[in-house]
Structure 1
């Protein structure tokens, strides 16, 4: 007790920072809870809230240096909040309150605190700062957590000071508190989780379908020996009636409460926008198309461009359906006459700005400007150079690989699928190899392939049994002397009508620039891009960033204390990921959801990603390893980052290596500060339990793979942590924030193909010759699917105002009390700023043709910083959208 034992009692001053509850929080959007109706948002209203809050929140300090006799740190008297105060560090929506604690020397130095909430609603606790602690100074507690009514918890809510300890160095009085908190976070694996819970546990992907609604909505469970998959967070919901292995759907989907969006309005607003597309926009568009209010097809390319000029015109009675929805009106710019008016994608903006600059420089009049814009707008995305450039500087730049054998052979079982050897011949390639033979081009590392064949063949017959008509594709590129790539040939393959065992029906197409054959070649490229778009969305984006990171989040929270150095290293790179993943399973990748409705793979989308996950290798996600594995780089100790690029002007790779090296240097400095030897790492029970469970449970379907790090050395920890940070930050940025800039122009990146290639002599071929634009548009993504797809990817490509970017983190300089890591982190931020300037200079180098291309859009996706909005740049710390 304070003040006993003859010790003089003093006062410790503190300030508690609370964030107002977000009225658009996705887990509370429809609720209206008793006192303080919208949570702490009532602060600042014309009522006396101070009295309510002061009496409804209590705090008790816990000593880090003095035991209570049982081995646990002493617990002080409860204190309530006092006056509201003003702090210069307060952010938007935050309020600070004065609090005082009784203290004497017998209590020692505080290292944690209990907090109790007696209000009926939760609040978001940002931080507590204690000032002028005798013989110690200031102590910071970075909390960032929702605190519910105390009756919701079986144990008191505890928060630790910003000191960082490996388990063996934890102050004795805090050891049991540290252990108990981790035990609570792991839970017991039973029961349905409630909104206020903070339990982290694993489950398979059994929540994608709704078999009780009908077979159309049934989906296989992902996770297990048949369809291996990373684990997701467990909710504990009941099972469906028709399938005891599938989880019931619900409007509320549990995630640990601190993983829910709890920041500024913009985060929830964008997320709510995604839900609105699924729940509100989709039905309106369906009614409009089914009722013949809107024409089913685009008639020409000019009509596609109108989406960015006037939007979609709908009758008044249809607009009235969305008028009461303010989120729809603000996100989709509904103005009473137009609906879904889209901003021009970067792939169009770049061309427009380029033309304007030429016109200003040459004093060209507006009539000529219109002519120039029409010409460039039609040609830039059509060019072979832009088609090839986007394989190394587009939204899916990490799939192209070197061609090492010719002819290319298939890895599928020939007994089941027949002979799928590539039928592209030397005669198709050598006329455009600049005098080289195929063998010489391969030897000189001049041939590359974009291969969307083997993984697609087993599903292609089922995909083509619906309204879609697609091909497995192989595309061969040649690296020219000017550093650019050019496509040489495309192979299109579809299933044999007599059965899989007879192999494919394949055709080869080569570049053409005149007549109907030019549009045949354009269609061939479109089939390739459709496959690439699907692979990008379901594998490069969803699987290889969103899904594979979630098990790391679960394992980290279950086994690494918040005061553990590796928890503090990785925590910023988990922000909002479980929340956006949960939303995706509910509205994006669910049965008959937006992705299934607008992308070629349809109902097989996530199932196919599970088949591809079988070959996922964590260690190959490290950028240098990925580049070497794909043959687009070779190991070279003399090169700046240990690898030498085969395609020197490879924007994603060259920029990425700069970011990778900066991340790794920061992680090396950080890890070496806390682990002075490999033995210290091996003797860290939390770290070893974290990695063991991550491998054996989180990614348990691949646990027997030999490539997992054993986590016995500091080098292994550095490599694993760097790889994880790379995936969650830079890799996700590279494959996410270019979605609308490139794909917002559906002609450039279609997501569906609905007709097969027209054959010479057919009516379709003649129609293509007469009206190529209309026939092209009948083949790719339809109008309805285009409107839905664009609505979603525009949201997904935006940065929010409360984003934290690589080199910055929540908590400012107070996330740890250790000076060494703080200085190392500042060096990391400075290095990233230098890299950004270096990348900007590269974009100004006209000899690096792949950095801008015919579309005149400089590659900026790996610039570390960004502002809010649709910027086509910026590396957030985490997969937050």
Structure 2
């Protein structure tokens, strides 16, 4: 029931309430005029907490007193078309009404469930039509208000309010909580009685830019990434501020207002490591259902706290896998405790609630994971060259490969600073594997492709390799074959020149081999390339290009676009949970010493590296067609609905993605055209212009002077912008996130760290590679403890929540009252279901080899899951959620 130490004070307040002394003035509303009108019946759906959920007995006692008095939650209607001259022509206020039968409405004692309440309003016909309402929660705990529906409003019929918001006790707010109907208005079309309420609500959401924000605050504001370091722990934990400088530009995050650290006034103080009480506006936090799911699956990913304790229980070789069977045991049997280490010993150093999640049904095997898709059908197919190339088109990182248009591959690094960084590959090295083609013939016929991580990593390699990481910058050349598959031709591994950066790169080139020491060396070369790709994928393709770049859009939309605004209604579903999952990432994943630094090769330089890459980010190039054109994997083709011809016909990500892109753009065009039937309406929309101006100047302020930003002068600008936002938040994130466990859950396939360099002939390491190639491979890639932590993390991040809402779906059917947008949205959902069927057909067609591959994993990462025919759940590796929600 909670702490009872304040009970005497609570009882005193109870007596004051019952006796009428010290009563909250908000309960005795002074607007209870007798209208003498008819009754309007209303229905309120909300989620209330049961008394057993209370953390404090005093709050429960006071709440029960208020309930007995019948004054738990009050609602006051506001007229949309009748202004009050005495109140600045704001909409007239109706008589306060209270939710009925609060105590009698039973909810579960263990959970917070939806409940429906009746409410009766006195409403004179002369008051017009309700367009908003004020709600006051007189309890001492928050409630989640879902919907309010008014029946039989005179001369109008039903009025619906979609709320979906946490409402804290009234004394927590310095203003009235306002909710509007599901009507949609451009700013200039807002009914005059509602105009001031609309504008004031935006002022409330912006806050005043100062002070530490509390959980009941609803403030959306900006801050730099100045909360990743922990300088109080020493120099090793210092990290540069990302954002606000030319050296380290970055998208903005949500402001928390926490005080700076004592040792560095530029670094924000951090919460305790395991705290999940991260400030974001309360409506941006996970739902109770999702939070329960997240905690259940995330316990293992908190393993960095347990590493010292776990390691101490095992012998010195615990940090190595000796054979691939040792790795497979993680999925087939779990990590067995050494002889003589009882469960009681584990209990001594690991909290029991965490241990229960780690232990499996056999009782003495830790960390047994689900079998990743990549090894379900065949335990060794991942090692083939065909699968290595296929995953660049249909794996978890299908957005990097590009067409090679010059040979040898060139570099864009500053020649004066980094010397000659042009590739050292030669025609003789690669043409022997090109099926009779020359390099120049292959380039001319659009058949040469490259996975290039050279320029992004080379400037950081000296620093990265001072850590436990020992890795290279890689270039991988591939040939598009007649059957549509990609054949690896060569891998170049480069290091900074030992005599200094201006001397260029020191490179080695490796070519395919299947047997003997040459085959083992080739497998290691592919591993180094995979390490580069894994790190770049996590830091750039996944974190930066979806999570980080979308957060400013979430913030600015709430600050500048009213909930009545059509673009707010369009985009809001695509922002669900993004601020909170990003806040969690800053708390335990991307912070100094966090999970990412422990498990991905750039280590302490990871976020700094992503900041440097952000300098080249271009909003317009996030459009899928623009991205494919930029990478040279497609060319313009006006005969195609999406305007492109793919140069790799069997490119599952691009094929499915273009259909999804076109469906989104068609939906956005139909929606926006309903509200903006001329370009002038776009230019004259004050909220929209403020939204776009602030997004450029504040949210992505470090890139505000770039010329590629759309002008937001035309309907075409608006449609393209909204399509890109929705694409990035939904389909792009799904493509680079939900394949993590299916492909990288088996870490030898997607290693995240290399711990030693390629062995040189004549060394002990080379002899080991020759005699025990599997052991040498495992000793080179991610270590055992890092593997356990990394796989635990991506298992959590690859799961769909049980309350997931997918593209083409909405949480509330009545999200707008406008029939034409609702019809267009229905067509959008039907189009996505058609795409689902075509994806299934393509996956079943044997001619498309890249959709299935040697590992026999069909490409479903862009399967929308809009219908219930093939629902995405758990680790299914399918489904496009509306938002960056995990």
Q: TM-score, normalised by structure 1?
A: 0.92
Q: For 1:512-527, what aligned pairs fall within 5 Å after superposition? A: 512-527=513-528
Q: Which residue, 144, 168, 181 being the options, matches 2:164?
A: 144
SS at match of 1:800: coil
Q: Choose 578-587 or 190-199, whichever is displaced more.
A: 190-199
Cα drift, residue 416 of structure 1: 2.1
SS at match of 2:470: coil
Cα deviation 1:757-796 (Å, max 9, x = unaligned)? 0112221111111111111000000000000000010000
1:260 equivalenced with 2:276 (yes/no): no
Partner of 1:367: none
1:569, 1:18 → 2: CA distance?
24
1:60, 1:751 → 2: CA distance?
57
SS at match of 1:508: strand
2:885, 2:62 → 1: CA distance?
24
2:351, 2:70 → 1: CA distance?
38
Q: 1:617 to 1:442 in 2, by over 3 A?
A: same
Cα deviation 1:162-197 (Å, max 9, x = unaligned)? 001101111110000000000111111111111110
Partner of 2:877: 872
1:796, 1:850 → 2: CA distance?
25
Q: 1:441 to 1:579 in 2, by over 3 A?
A: same
Q: Is the 8 A contact 1:21 1:124 kept in 2?
A: no
1:249 equivalenced with 2:270 (yes/no): yes
Q: Which residue, 223, 233, 253 being the options, matches 1:232?
A: 253
**Number of residue pairs matched by the alignment:** 835
SS at match of 1:456: helix
Cα deviation 1:797-843 (Å, max 9, x = unaligned)? 0001111000001112x000000000000000000001000000000
Q: Is the 8 A contact 1:666 1:825 kept in 2?
A: yes
Q: 1:787 to 1:96 in 2, by over 3 A?
A: same
Partner of 2:76: 60
1:590, 1:21 → 2: CA distance?
34
2:352, 2:81 → 1: CA distance?
55
Partner of 1:9: 37
Cα drift, residue 313 of structure 1: 2.3
Partner of 1:423: 424
1:857, 1:775 → 2: CA distance?
28
1:660, 1:266 → 2: CA distance?
28
1:94 equivalenced with 2:114 (yes/no): yes
Partner of 1:801: 802
2:387, 2:531 → 1: CA distance?
16
Q: Is the 8 A contact 1:210 1:218 kept in 2?
A: yes
Q: For 1:555-634, what aligned pairs fall within 5 Å after superposition? A: 555-634=556-635
Cα drift, residue 516 of structure 1: 1.5
1:691, 1:560 → 2: CA distance?
10
1:187, 1:122 → 2: CA distance?
20
Q: 1:717 to 1:438 in 2, by over 3 A?
A: same
Q: Is the 8 A contact 1:267 1:800 kept in 2?
A: no
1:215 equivalenced with 2:235 (yes/no): yes
Q: Which residue, 280, 286, 289 being the options, matches 2:311?
A: 289
2:548, 2:61 → 1: CA distance?
33
Cα drift, residue 332 of structure 1: 6.7
Q: Is the 8 A contact 2:31 2:93 kept in 1?
A: no
Cα deviation 1:336-367 (Å, max 9, x = unaligned)? 31221100001112x1xxxxxxxxxxxxxxxx
Q: Choose 127-136 or 779-788, whichever is displaced more.
A: 127-136
Cα deviation 1:688-735 (Å, max 9, x = unaligned)? 000000011100100111100000000010000000000000000000
Partner of 1:360: none
Q: For 1:318-717, what aligned pairs fall within 5 Å after superposition? A: 318-321=345-348, 324-326=351-353, 329-330=356-357, 333=360, 336-349=363-376, 351=377, 376-378=378-380, 380-717=381-718
Cα deviation 1:581-615 (Å, max 9, x = unaligned)? 00000001010000000110100111100000000
Cα drift, residue 267 of structure 1: 3.5
2:572, 2:211 → 1: CA distance?
27
Cα drift, residue 9 of structure 1: 1.3
Cα drift, residue 429 of structure 1: 1.7
Partner of 1:302: 325
Partner of 1:181: 201
Q: Choose 846-855 or 121-130, whichever is displaced more.
A: 121-130
1:387, 1:725 → 2: CA distance?
30
| Consecutive aligned runs of 4 or more in structure 1 exceeding 3 Å deviation | 1-5, 20-24, 33-40, 48-54, 84-87, 266-269, 271-274, 276-279, 290-294, 321-328, 330-336
RMSD: 2.3
SS at match of 1:860: coil
Cα deviation 1:396-427 (Å, max 9, x = unaligned)? 10000010111112211222222111011101
Cα drift, residue 39 of structure 1: 13
Q: 1:4 to 1:412 in 2, by over 3 A?
A: closer
Q: Is the 8 A contact 1:17 1:94 kept in 2?
A: yes
Cα drift, residue 301 of structure 1: 0.5
Q: Choose 48-57 or 207-216, whichever is displaced more.
A: 48-57
1:270 equivalenced with 2:294 (yes/no): yes
Q: Is the 8 A contact 1:61 1:112 kept in 2?
A: yes
SS at match of 2:758: coil
Q: Is the 8 A contact 2:44 2:117 kept in 1?
A: yes
Q: Which residue, 136, 141, 155 being the options, matches 1:135?
A: 155
Q: Is the 8 A contact 1:575 1:879 kept in 2?
A: yes
2:211, 2:710 → 1: CA distance?
34
Cα drift, residue 260 of structure 1: 1.0
Cα deviation 1:39-90 (Å, max 9, x = unaligned)? 99xxxxxxx8994595221111111011111210011121111136999xxx
Q: Is the 8 A contact 2:36 2:122 kept in 1?
A: no
Q: Is the 8 A contact 2:477 2:489 kept in 1?
A: yes
2:489, 2:705 → 1: CA distance?
41
Q: 1:581 to 1:332 in 2, by over 3 A?
A: farther
Partner of 2:835: 835
1:34, 1:740 → 2: CA distance?
44
Q: Is the 8 A contact 1:556 1:690 kept in 2?
A: yes
1:592, 1:653 → 2: CA distance?
36
**Which blocks of at least 5 consecutive residues in structure 1 are unaligned?**
41-47, 352-375
Q: 1:106 to 1:708 in 2, by over 3 A?
A: same
Q: For 1:810-849, what aligned pairs fall within 5 Å after superposition? A: 810-812=811-813, 814-849=814-849
Q: Is the 8 A contact 1:50 1:83 kept in 2?
A: no
2:231, 2:305 → 1: CA distance?
21
SS at match of 2:734: helix
Q: 1:55 to 1:162 in 2, by over 3 A?
A: same
1:55, 1:22 → 2: CA distance?
17
2:562, 2:131 → 1: CA distance?
14
SS at match of 1:476: strand
Cα drift, residue 283 of structure 1: 3.0
1:595, 1:555 → 2: CA distance?
28
Q: Is the 8 A contact 1:9 1:103 kept in 2?
A: yes
1:72 equivalenced with 2:72 (yes/no): no
SS at match of 2:71: helix
Cα deviation 1:456-505 (Å, max 9, x = unaligned)? 11110111111110000000000000010011000001122232222222
Cα drift, residue 515 of structure 1: 0.7
SS at match of 2:46: strand
1:573, 1:686 → 2: CA distance?
19
Cα deviation 1:520-550 (Å, max 9, x = unaligned)? 1000000000000000001000000000000
Q: 1:511 to 1:687 in 2, by over 3 A?
A: same
SS at match of 1:657: helix
Q: 1:849 to 1:20 in 2, by over 3 A?
A: farther
SS at match of 1:455: helix
2:292, 2:704 → 1: CA distance?
36
